[in-house]
Structures are given as C-alpha cells and as structure tokens.
Amino acid sequence: AQRVTQPEKLLSVFKGAPVELKCNYSYSGSPELFWYVQYSRQRLQLLLRHISRESIKGFTADLNKGETSFHLKKPFAQEEDSAMYYCALRANTDKLIFGTGTRLQVFP
C-alpha cells in the first residue's frame, strides 16, 4: 500500500537551532516526493520537490530510497519557518498521497 508517515505531530525548536522534519514512505516503485507548507492564514503551497534537488528558504530534502525517507532539513531555523509541513508522495498518477503533517514551532 502507498503510504506517507510523518511521525511527529509537533516539533518545537528555538531560533537558530537545526530542524529535521521526518517523512517516511511506502511505495514499491519509483516515487516522486514533495514537501508542502501552510503558513498561518495562508493557503497550502509547494515548498520543494525531490526531483529538483533544490534548496528553498534554506530547506533541503534528500530522497533516501534505502531507508524510504525524505526528511526535510534546515541548519538554522527562523521564526518565520513556523508552519504546518506536509510530506506528499506521487505514485504513477497525478494524485498525491499526503502525510498527517508536522507543525513546526520556532521560538525566539
């Protein structure tokens, strides 16, 4: 079965601390993985996709097929990073399967 697991509902860090939001997936084929973010009072939007291998707002995510993970990382968290983060998997269709989300709180 195709599944995305985000084990942490809430992650709290202080400004300047490193951040890692965990995402594990279950899919037998070649997955496409994404991170979407929802800031307070804003709509859900794409943060980054694994195929682009890009860094957005200081965030990076590496697809580890051996561990079936796609963890989101940032070396130094900022207060404006506080948001809800969703990991998503696209199998061989246009549908996305979302995880349950992790709320990141960055304290000053």
Gap between the Cα atoms of 33 and 51, Å rounded: 8
Q: How far is the CB of 81 from other proteins (least distance, A)?
A: 19
Q: Contact 8/99 with Cβ under 8 angstroms?
A: no
Residue 96 within binding range of other proteins, rule CB under 8 A: yes
Q: Contact 105/12 with Cβ under 8 angstroms?
A: yes
Site for other proteins in 18-57 (CB under 8 A): 32, 36, 43-46, 49, 51
Quick one: 70 or 99, whose CB is closer to other proteins?
99
Number of residues near other proteins (by CB under 8 A): 20
Gap between the Cα atoms of 79 and 103, Å rounded: 13
List the alpha helices (DSSP H) in the chain: none
Q: Which residues pair with 5 in a beta bridge?
A: 24
Residue 17 within binding range of other proteins, rule CB under 8 A: no
Q: How far is the CB of 98 from other proteins (least distance, A)?
A: 4
* Residue ranges that bind other proteins, judged by CB under 8 A: 6, 9, 32, 36, 43-46, 49, 51, 86, 90, 94-101
